[in-house]
C-alpha cells in the first residue's frame, strides 16, 4: 500500500470533470516542460555535434601537432627522425603550405595549396579515406582538389588547371610569382564544405618548385597515439627542439579561438533555452496554487485527522515533481526522436516551405551534425526536475500553513 503522501499526490493529479480548468493548466505545464527539455536537447546535441565534427575534420586534415620555424626547415628529414623517437608519436609528415590562385576553364579561385609526401601524409591525416576518385600517388604535374571545388568549376579527372603562386614577399623564402599547369589526378571529400572548396594538394617537389623553396618545407605534421595527449607531446618536442627557432603547436592551440567560441555559445544557449523550462515552471506554480484553492476542504480534513505540515508540503511538492517528471520524460523522448531525424526534418522544411535550414557554405558541413551526449541529457533532465520542485515550494508551503478550522469552513 502506498504511503499517505504519495497516494494523495497521485490522487490530486488525477483529471476529473469538475476540475477541468485545473487539468488544462496541468496539461499546459507538462507541455511547457516537455518543449523546454526537447528544445534544449536538440540545441545542445547540435552544438556538441559541431564541436566533435570540427575536431574530427581538422585532425583529419592537419594532424595533431605541427612543427614550424621562422624560416624554412631545410633539415626536416633529421627532425622527423628525432621526433619519431618519442613514445607517443606515431607518424610524421613534412608539408609546404601557401595560398595560390587556381585557374580553370571558366574561373579563377584562391585556394590553400599544400605540398605533401603522399606516403607519409596518410599516416598523419585521413586524406586517404577522403579520396573519392583518382589516386593519391601524385606525380609532379598532378593535383588533388576538393569535391566542392570540382563541382563549382565543373572539373573531372584528367582536366588541366593552372596554379599561379604569389609574388615575392608573400611567403617566407619565396621567389617571384610562378605559374604551372597541373592535371586533376584525384578528388577528395572530407565532408566539411570549407576544406572541400579551399584545399588542394600537390606533391612536395612540385610545391617546392612552385614557391621557390628549394629543398625546404614549411613544417612537419605529427600524429600522436591519443589526441588528448597532444599538449604533452608538444612539451616533449620543445625539449628537443627549443624555441624560438622552432614553434610547436598542438591542434588545440591552432584552433583555440574557434573551439572556445563554440563552448561559449553552448553555455549561452543552455542558459537561454533553459528559460523556456523556467517559464514552464511558473505554470507549475500556478497549477499548484489553483490546486491548493480547489483542495482547501481536503487539506482541512487531512489536518483535522492528524496530518502534519510536513506531510501537506510533501503532497503538493510531489504533485509538482510529477508534473515535471512527466514533462521531462516526454521532452527527452521527443528530443531523442527529433535528434535522430533532424536532417529529415530540415529537408522537409526546405522542400515544403522553401527555407534552407542548413546551407553548407555557411555552416561548413553538408548535413546537420547532432551528437547525443548522455551526460548533457542527464543534466538537462535534472535541471528540469529541480526547477519543477522549486516551483512547487511556495504553493506547498502555503497549503501547509492552512488552519484546519478555516479550511473546513471554505465550502
Give the range among 194-198, 286-290, 355-359, 398-402 with minimum mean pLDDT.
398-402
pTM: 0.69
Q: Tell me: the pLDDT tens digits for 133-147?
A: 998 889 888 999 999
Q: Tell me: the pLDDT tens digits for 250-307?
A: 888 877 777 777 778 788 888 887 887 787 777 777 777 776 666 666 666 666 666 6
Phi and psi (nearest 5°) for 156? -130, 170
CB contact at 8 A, 288 and 29 = no
Q: Tell me: the pLDDT tens digits for 101-143?
A: 998 887 888 899 999 999 999 999 989 889 999 988 898 889 9
Round to whole Å and give the CA distance between 104 and 126.
Answer: 27
Beta bridge partners of 98: 113
Most confident range (mean pLDDT) of 9-18, 245-254, 312-321 is 245-254
Structure confidence at residue 171 as a pLDDT band (50, 70, 90): very low
Short-list 233, 268, 277, 255, CA closest to 389? 277
Task: Sort 351 into a burial class: Cβ within 10 Å, 0-12 / 13-18 / 19+.
Answer: exposed
What is the chain's length? Answer: 411
Share of the chain above pLDDT 90, in %: 19
CB contact at 8 A, 94 and 227 = no
What 8-state DSSP symbol labels residue 219?
Answer: E
The overall average pLDDT reported for the chain is: 81
Strands of 139-226, DSSP E: 142-146, 160-164, 179-188, 199-203, 217-224
CB contact at 8 A, 114 and 95 = yes
Domain boundaries, the chain: 4-55+259-408, 89-224
Q: Tell me: the pLDDT tens digits for 199-231?
A: 999 999 999 888 888 888 999 999 998 888 888
3 state DSSP class of 284: helix
Q: Tell me: the pLDDT tens digits for 172-193?
A: 444 456 788 999 999 999 877 7
**How many C-beta neighbours within 10 Å does residue 251 have?**
21
Give the range among 68-72, 187-191, 278-282, 367-371 with minimum mean pLDDT.
278-282
Structure confidence at residue 16 as a pLDDT band (50, 70, 90): low
Q: What's CA 342's distance to the chain center, in Å?
A: 14
Q: Which residues contact 37 (CB under 8 A, 6 or more apart)?
A: 277, 327, 328, 330, 331, 332, 335, 380, 381, 384
Amino acid at each position: 500500500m502506498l504511503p499517505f503522501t504519495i497516494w494523495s499526490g497521485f490522487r490530486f493529479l488525477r483529471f476529473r470533470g469538475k476540475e477541468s480548468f485545473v487539468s488544462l493548466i496541468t496539461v499546459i505545464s507538462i507541455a511547457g516542460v516537455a518543449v523546454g527539455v526537447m528544445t534544449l536537447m536538440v540545441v545542445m546535441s547540435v552544438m556538441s555535434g559541431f564541436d566533435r565534427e570540427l575536431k574530427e575534420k581538422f585532425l583529419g586534415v592537419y594532424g595533431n601537432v605541427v612543427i614550424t620555424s621562422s624560416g624554412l626547415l631545410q633539415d626536416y628529414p633529421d627532425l622527423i627522425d628525432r621526433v619519431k623517437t618519442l613514445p607517443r608519436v606515431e607518424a610524421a609528415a613534412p608539408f609546404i603550405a601557401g595560398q595560390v590562385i587556381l585557374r580553370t576553364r571558366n574561373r579563377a579561385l584562391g585556394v590553400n595549396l599544400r605540398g605533401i609526401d603522399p606516403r607519409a601524409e596518410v599516416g598523419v591525416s585521413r586524406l586517404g579515406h577522403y579520396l573519392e576518385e583518382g589516386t593519391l600517388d601524385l606525380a609532379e604535374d598532378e593535383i588533388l582538389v576538393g569535391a566542392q571545388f570540382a563541382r563549382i568549376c565543373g572539373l573531372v579527372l584528367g582536366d588541366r588547371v593552372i596554379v599561379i603562386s604569389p609574388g615575392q614577399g608573400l611567403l617566407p623564402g619565396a621567389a617571384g610569382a610562378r605559374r604551372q599547369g597541373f592535371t586533376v589526378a584525384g578528388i577528395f571529400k572530407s565532408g566539411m564544405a570549407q576544406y572541400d572548396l579551399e584545399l588542394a594538394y600537390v606533391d612536395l617537389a612540385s610545391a617546392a618548385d612552385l614557391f621557390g623553396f628549394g629543398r625546404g618545407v614549411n613544417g612537419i605534421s605529427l600524429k600522436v597515439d591519443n589526441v588528448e595527449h597532444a599538449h604533452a607531446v608538444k612539451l616533449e618536442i620543445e625539449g628537443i627542439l627549443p624555441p624560438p627557432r622552432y614553434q610547436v603547436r598542438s591542434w588545440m592551440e591552432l584552433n583555440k579561438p574557434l573551439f572556445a567560441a563554440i563552448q561559449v555559445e553552448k553555455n549561452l544557449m543552455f542558459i537561454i533555452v533553459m528559460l523556456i523550462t523556467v517559464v514552464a515552471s511558473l505554470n507549475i506554480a500556478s497549477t499548484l496554487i489553483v490546486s491548493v484553492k480547489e483542495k482547501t476542504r481536503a487539506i482541512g480534513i487531512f489536518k483535522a485527522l492528524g496530518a502534519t505540515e510536513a506531510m501537506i508540503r510533501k503532497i503538493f511538492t510531489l504533485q509538482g515533481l510529477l508534473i515535471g517528471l512527466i514533462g521531462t520524460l516526454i521532452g527527452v523522448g521527443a528530443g531523442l526522436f527529433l535528434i535522430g531525424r533532424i536532417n529529415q526534418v530540415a529537408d522537409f522544411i526546405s522542400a515544403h516551405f522553401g527555407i534552407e535550414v542548413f546551407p553548407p557554405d555557411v555552416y561548413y558541413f553538408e548535413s546537420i551534425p547532432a551528437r547525443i551526449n548522455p551526460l548533457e541529457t542527464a543534466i538537462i533532465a535534472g535541471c528540469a526536475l529541480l526547477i519543477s520542485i522549486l516551483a512547487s515550494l511556495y504553493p506547498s508551503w502555503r497549503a501547509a500553513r492552512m488552519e484546519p478550522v478555516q479550511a473546513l469552513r471554505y465550502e
